Structure 1
Amino acid sequence: MANIKSKQKAIISNEKANIRNSAIKSSVKTAIKKAQKAAQTKDANLKTLVANAHHEIDKAVSKGVLHANNGARKASRLDAFVAKNN
């Protein structure tokens, strides 16, 4: 642990941010996987799952967890996957 008080606080806040960011990234990955599985099995609620995945990606980008280009790439690849498997 650091000796400087501001650095101690920074370490604690960084840990909190890491936990929060990990949860957001996990929800993005889960939403993408659900949408991909629905595309492969030709599920009836495919549109809602894809829309949910796009929403999760956009939310992560707006919170700064994902870079804008990274979010755009994830969304584009998901759309391409759905188009290919549908």
Structure 2
Amino acid sequence: MANTPSAKKAARKIERRTEVNRNRRSRMRTFVRKVEEALASGDKDAAGAAFKSAEPEIMRAAQKGVLPKNTASRKVSRLAQRLAKLGA
């Protein structure tokens, strides 16, 4: 456990940031799940609409430091590939 005042404050800050990041990660995963469900059902229009809303959410998570930029780009790329394959 933290002993110094600065360490106690740091622990409080980390706790708050962890909660914010957890919410952001959860929100991003929800958007990705909607795209995957639409892809699984084979509904091209729904999948396209879900992808359009998921892409900025994923990139926002990367911008806020919830996940690395390359990871976000890879996720978007793979979802786009799956969407293109569904349309073909």
Give the TM-score, by structure 2 length.
Answer: 0.86
- Residues of 2 paired with 1:38 and 1:11: CA distance? 41
How many residue pairs match? The answer is 86
Could you say which residue in structure 2 is the equivalent of 1:47?
Answer: 48
Q: Whose RCO is larger (CA < 8 A, sep 6+)?
A: 1
Cα distance in 2, alignment partners of residues 20 and 77 from structure 1: 26
Partner of 1:9: 9
Work out the CA distance in 2 between the residues paired with 1:31 and 1:48: 11
- Deviation for aligned residue 1:64: 1.5
Gaps of at least 5 residues in structure 1 are none
Alignment root-mean-square deviation, CA: 1.4
Mapped partners of 1:65, 1:48: distance in 2: 24
Identity of aligned residues (%): 34
